[in-house]
Amino acid sequence: MGRTLPSITQAFLQEQQSLARFRRALRREDQLALDDLLADARQHLAEAAYASHLLPFEIMLLAMLVEEHKLVLRLRQQIEVLQVNLERMQRGESPSLKREP
């Protein structure tokens, strides 16, 4: 008979449990950061199920990386808007309230 694979949710929970001792060893602020990363990975369980050929821990790391990169992109866009507004203010123009692409 064939072997039944655990669901991605079960695999995620197992991976999360395997990190429990590591998490406890972290400082409180680092524990919170790890919790945020795990929450980010949890958002992508459906995609992880679709990519069943990857190891669960690999897909967790990739999901965390995707969420972190999205944050970097948002922050870059905000910095660009602030830079444009600063340049406008330096020229005596009023800053734009709209986000620019």
> How much is the average pLDDT of 72-81?
96
pLDDT of 98 reads: 65
Residue with the two structure tokens 């449990």:
17
Q: Is the pLDDT of residue 74 over 90?
A: yes
Residues 6+ apart with CB under 8 A from 16: 38
Q: Is the pLDDT of residue 26 over 90?
A: yes
Task: Quote the distance between the C-alpha of residue 60 and its chain's center.
Answer: 10
pLDDT of 95 reads: 80
What proportions of the chain, in percent to the nearest 5, are helix, strand and coil?
70, 0, 30
pTM of the model: 0.75
Alpha-carbon gap, residue 2 to 63, rounded angstroms: 29
Q: Is the pLDDT of residue 1 over 80?
A: no
